[in-house]
């Protein structure tokens, strides 16, 4: 059985990175904030949980209500220093969803 990504998190500093690593998360080693403070996405695979099938980003309050109503889970770490930008994910296993997997290209520079 394939192992799909089931949890995602975001780190904004070294202490958060250490915490996520200790909890079994793996870092995607590309910063979302090149040239500034590193912002990394982390993921975990749990064969007993529904896979993540959709990822969204919110950048204004009105978007949050829609994502909550649609069943998305918010990663509660602001990705921006200039405003509020949040990552959201949706977990499902219907015939219409495609499971998100880690790509080999994420390790290329």
**Per-position pLDDT tens, the chain of length 109:** 457 899 999 999 999 999 999 999 999 989 888 888 889 999 999 888 888 888 999 998 889 999 999 999 999 999 887 888 999 999 876 776 676 666 554 444 4
Residue 76 buriedness (CB in 10 A; 0-12 / 13-18 / 19+): exposed
pTM, two decimals, is: 0.81
Domain containing 26 equals 5-107
**Number of structural domains in the chain:** 1
Q: What is the DSSP letter of 1?
A: -
C-alpha distances (whole Å) from 76 to each of 3, 104, 106 are 25, 27, 23
From 60, 58, 46, select the one nearest 89 (Cα to Cα).
58
């Amino acid at each position: 059985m394939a192992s799909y990504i089931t949890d995602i998190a975001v780190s904004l500093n070294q202490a958060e990175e250490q915490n996520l690593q200790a909890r079994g998360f793996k870092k995607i080693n590309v910063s979302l904030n090149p040239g500034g403070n590193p912002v990394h996405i982390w993921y975990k695979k749990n064969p007993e949980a529904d896979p993540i099938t959709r990822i969204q980003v919110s950048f204004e309050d009105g978007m949050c209500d829609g994502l909550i109503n649609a069943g998305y889970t918010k990663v509660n770490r602001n990705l921006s220093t200039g405003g509020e930008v949040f990552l959201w994910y949706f977990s499902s296993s219907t015939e219409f969803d495609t499971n998100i997997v880690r790509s080999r290209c994420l390790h290329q520079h």
